[in-house]
Amino acid sequence: MGLVGAVLTKLGNTISIAMIFLMLVPTLGAVIPVDAEVSETSEAGWWVDTTVDRNKNGIGDMIERHIDNPILLSEGTLPIIVDFDHTPDETDVIMLEQQVDYEHQFYLPAIDAVAGRVPVALLNEATELPGVVMLELDGIMTIQNGDAVALHGVDTAWDETGYDGSGSTVAIIDTGIDGLHSSLDDQDDDPETNDPKVVAFYDPVNNPSLTNGTEVFPYDDQGHGSHCAGTTAGTGAPTYENPGMAPQAKLVGVKVLDSGGSGSFAVVMAGMQWTIDNRYQYNIRVASMSLGAFGIIEWTSSEEDSVNRMANDMVYNDITLFIAAGNSAGRGTIGTPGSAEDAITIGALDKDSSIAAYSSQGPTEENRVKPNIAYVGSDVMSVAHNTGDGYTAFSGTSMATPGAAGVAALMLQANPDISPFEVRNFMQETAEYRACTYMGDAAGIDGCDDNDAQNIITKNRQNNVYGHGEVRALESVLAAAEKYYTFDSSMQIAIDSDPTHDNSHTHLTPKDAIKFTTTGGIETIQWRSNHIVDDWTNLHSYEKTDTDGNIAAIDIIHQLEHLPGINLDGNHTISIRGLQSNSSGGHSSSPLVTIDIMLMDTASAFIPESEETPAFTFLAVSVASAIALFVNQRKSELDSIYEED
């Protein structure tokens, strides 16, 4: 019987294992990849079917068109963007250097590319290298050269909402920014305070290796960028006759064009990549690019062009990007980077609000309608660089673009929640429509579609001259402010925590707080940082009957610690709003107030109070308990001995 039992036991184990295997087979089948199915469902790369390379030989058409262009050709090499099917690293660069004598300049991970020079004779060999999917020409970009305040209703927006751009940061990607001009040197125009308006500056033209944003003092050796910066966020000092659209917004300068006003695609994209990489650290929510490729390179640029792809990636990374339409006039002259699908492309208006004769018009190479909206660009008075406090008038879509970007800064102050696509939609939906035949302007009529006459009797729509129309600042700001709640200026919040006049930031340690008072019957207080991915937090200590309150720094620290790409110690911007139920059954919101803070000694926020005392107490109690147990045990043993005796 013992032998039979052993056999039966072994047989039972074998059957059990077989049953388990049969149960696992379907699962194993589910996790083992099937090559045929993967290949059928994988998405084709952008390079497979693109107007960048119509003959599909892996060499961009612009390279073939300009292969002997003396402006680009140097010692038998051309400036090339090398596109990969993966994000290239040092190994890929070494391969290019060894195989095709590549001279490296920049990594461009946002578009899976590198930029450098390749010998013309080795272009075909380069297309055959592992991972290389396309070669593109690294072309050249050049600059695209208070009436705007009144025409677009910016002054009305200031007056009715109180918003001035505080808490918003705009990157000016251009020829640089004159950090010594009185309109751009600081926020409060008080020489006794340390509160720079330009909070970071990167210069890939002359100092590409200095990337932390603070190593190069903001400068401009051409003037175009400073004029644009003044239009966006200049304070208007010393006379305040020509302030920017968002005079209290901060600026980040990204110098991608040289003293002659031009720069390669690679340098421009290096600046764009830096802006993406540093968007969290400097809270960059808006970028303005008043530049574009020249001539035929611009007009025939594909949506998959390298700079267009980089522009779209900036928007994907939550940066609202404004790009000049260009000054080439006439139909079908908007190209890279203004033709980028996700960017907000800006046409230029004359002072009478009709289209400027020089403003480039759509459609794009893919027959996409552009521009998106239009802004005053003619005779715009703004900063004259290297004059100390002078101003000058420029004209161009370059001047229109930073004006629209300034309105976006006001919108983001009104509602830090909104995405780049919401900024675009709000500005388009609230724009004052202009048919291309508006005012009988010859420039507009020349750009009309054949069926644009239908605009007289059919609904309004976007056209290739004005886009959705003339930007209306107040309406755009209110659309942003009222995304969730009705705007109600009868409710107000006043900050009681005075700045220390050190960079105009209120210093807070973990034991401090932001103190405020309220009027107008505010029932709920909410706060948030202006970080791109933060959200609103209810202040639970505030009751609907309160008229004052405070936001503890320790709560701010614990909110910020979960956000990407920032240092806790340092500067941050906090927005605060009050809510109140209204008669419609919804809620109204007070105007947002912003406060710049400097968090200090945040590490102490993560050390429990009296850390040494509990530890010491635990140790002491543990030792005492051990001694007591030992004594009691010893006593029991002795008692036992005595009892035996």
pLDDT digits (tens, 9 = 90+) for 300-354: 456 678 899 999 999 999 999 999 998 888 888 888 889 899 999 999 999 888 8
Evaluated on CA atoms 386, 391, 393, 399, the torsion sign reads positive
| Per-residue pLDDT, 438 | 78
Is the model more confident about 82 or about 531?
82
| Per-residue pLDDT, 501 | 46
| Per-residue pLDDT, 397 | 92
Chain-centroid distance, C-alpha 354: 31
| H-run or E-run covering 623 | helix 612-644
The tally of CA atoms less than 13 A away on the side-chain side of residue 470 is 24
| H-run or E-run covering 506 | strand 506-508
| β-pair partners for 287 | 171, 321
| Per-residue pLDDT, 104 | 96
Q: Which of 53, 138, 174, 203 is catalytic?
A: 174
Q: Is the pLDDT of residue 220 over 50?
A: yes
Q: Does 398 participate in catalysis according to the annotation?
A: yes
What are the residue boundaries of the structural domains of the chain, listed by start? 46-138, 142-480, 486-606, 609-645
Q: Which of 398, 476, 504, 590 is catalytic?
A: 398
Name the band, by pLDDT with cuts 50, 70 and 90, for residue 247.
Answer: very high
* Spatial separation of the C-alpha atoms in residues 414 and 167, rounded to whole Å: 10
* Spatial separation of the C-alpha atoms in residues 115 and 531, rounded to whole Å: 31
Largest CA-CA distance found in the chain, in angstroms, rounded: 125
Q: Is the pLDDT of residue 148 over 70?
A: yes
CB 517 within 8 A of CB 547: yes
* Spatial separation of the C-alpha atoms in residues 596 and 249, rounded to whole Å: 12
By CB atoms closer than 10 A (0-12, 13-18, 19+), residue 295 is exposed
By CB atoms closer than 10 A (0-12, 13-18, 19+), residue 554 is middle
**Nearest CA among 483, 494, 491 for reference residue 522:** 491
| β-pair partners for 551 | 514
* Spatial separation of the C-alpha atoms in residues 552 and 508, rounded to whole Å: 9
Name the band, by pLDDT with cuts 50, 70 and 90, for residue 62.
Answer: confident
| Per-residue pLDDT, 557 | 95
* Spatial separation of the C-alpha atoms in residues 236 and 457, rounded to whole Å: 44
Q: Does 636 participate in catalysis according to the annotation?
A: no
Q: Which residues touch 33 (CB under 8 Å, ≥6 apart)? A: none
**Nearest CA among 363, 336, 332, 358 for reference residue 347:** 358
CB 490 within 8 A of CB 174: no
Mean pLDDT, to the nearest integer, of 158-167? 93
**Nearest CA among 256, 294, 310, 265 for reference residue 109:** 310
- Residue written as tokens 């459609």? 363
Report H helices in 301-374.
Answer: 306-316
C-alpha torsion 439→445→450→454, nearest 10: 0
| Per-residue pLDDT, 456 | 54
3-state secondary structure 20-52: HHHHHHHHHHHHCCCHHHHHHHCCCCHHHCCCC
Across 74-78, 105-109, 139-143, 339-343, least confident range: 139-143
Name the band, by pLDDT with cuts 50, 70 and 90, for residue 436.
Answer: confident
Name the band, by pLDDT with cuts 50, 70 and 90, for residue 450.
Answer: very low
Q: Topology of 486-606 in CATH?
A: Immunoglobulin-like (2.60.40)
* Spatial separation of the C-alpha atoms in residues 228 and 237, rounded to whole Å: 16
3-state secondary structure 150-195: HHCCHHHHHHHHCCCCCCCEEEEEECECCCCCCCCCECCCCCCCCC
Q: Which of 152, 181, 224, 505 is catalytic?
A: 224
| Per-residue pLDDT, 359 | 92
| Per-residue pLDDT, 23 | 44
| H-run or E-run covering 516 | strand 513-519
Q: Which residues touch 346 (CB under 8 Å, ≥6 apart)? A: 322, 323, 324, 325, 371, 372, 373, 374, 375, 377, 397, 400, 401, 404
| Per-residue pLDDT, 2 | 53
Across 194-208, 296-310, 490-504, least confident range: 296-310
**Tokens of residue 476, six digits:** 């755009």
For 10-20, write each residue's pLDDT tens digit.
545 544 444 44
Mean pLDDT, to the nearest integer, of 464-484? 95
| H-run or E-run covering 579 | strand 570-581
Q: Is the pLDDT of residue 610 over 80?
A: no
* Spatial separation of the C-alpha atoms in residues 568 and 328, rounded to whole Å: 47
* 3 state DSSP class of 640: helix
Name the band, by pLDDT with cuts 50, 70 and 90, for residue 516.
Answer: very high
Is the model more confident about 619 or about 513?
513
Q: Which residues touch 113 (CB under 8 Å, ≥6 apart)? A: 81, 82, 83, 84, 88, 136, 306
| Per-residue pLDDT, 606 | 86
β-pairing verdict for 262-264 and 284-289: unpaired
Q: What pTM does this model have?
A: 0.83
| Per-residue pLDDT, 65 | 82
| β-pair partners for 470 | 374, 432
Name the band, by pLDDT with cuts 50, 70 and 90, for residue 414.
Answer: very high
**Tokens of residue 181, six digits:** 């001009």
**Domain 46-138, CATH number (from 3.90.1300.10, 3.30.70.80, 1.10.760.10, 3.40.50.620):** 3.30.70.80
CB 355 within 8 A of CB 380: no
Mean pLDDT, rounded, of the chain: 85
In one-letter notation, the amino acid at residue 435 is A
CB 289 within 8 A of CB 324: yes
DSSP code, position 432:
B
* Spatial separation of the C-alpha atoms in residues 331 and 276, rounded to whole Å: 32
CB 524 within 8 A of CB 617: no
| Per-residue pLDDT, 639 | 52
Mean pLDDT, to the nearest integer, of 426-438? 89
CB 473 within 8 A of CB 245: yes
Mean pLDDT, to the nearest integer, of 363-386? 92
In one-letter notation, the amino acid at residue 535 is D
| Per-residue pLDDT, 448 | 65
Q: Does 342 participate in catalysis according to the annotation?
A: no
> What share of the chain has pLDDT > 90, as a percent?
61
For 256-278, write each residue's pLDDT tens digit.
999 999 988 999 999 999 999 99
Q: Which CATH architecture has domain 142-480?
A: 3-Layer(aba) Sandwich (3.40)
DSSP code, position 497:
S
Q: Which residues touch 71 (CB under 8 Å, ≥6 apart)? A: 140
* 3 state DSSP class of 632: helix
Q: Is the pLDDT of residue 38 over 50?
A: no
DSSP code, position 79:
E
| Per-residue pLDDT, 330 | 80
| Per-residue pLDDT, 437 | 77
Q: Is the pLDDT of residue 532 over 80?
A: yes
Q: How far is the first Cα of the chain from the last one, in angstroms, to the nearest whole number?
A: 59
Q: Is the pLDDT of residue 21 over 50?
A: no
**Nearest CA among 511, 440, 485 for reference residue 577:** 485
Q: Which residues touch 283 (CB under 8 Å, ≥6 apart)? A: 169, 530, 531, 532, 573
**Nearest CA among 320, 1, 276 for reference residue 111:** 276
| Per-residue pLDDT, 92 | 97
Mean pLDDT, to the nearest integer, of 93-106? 96
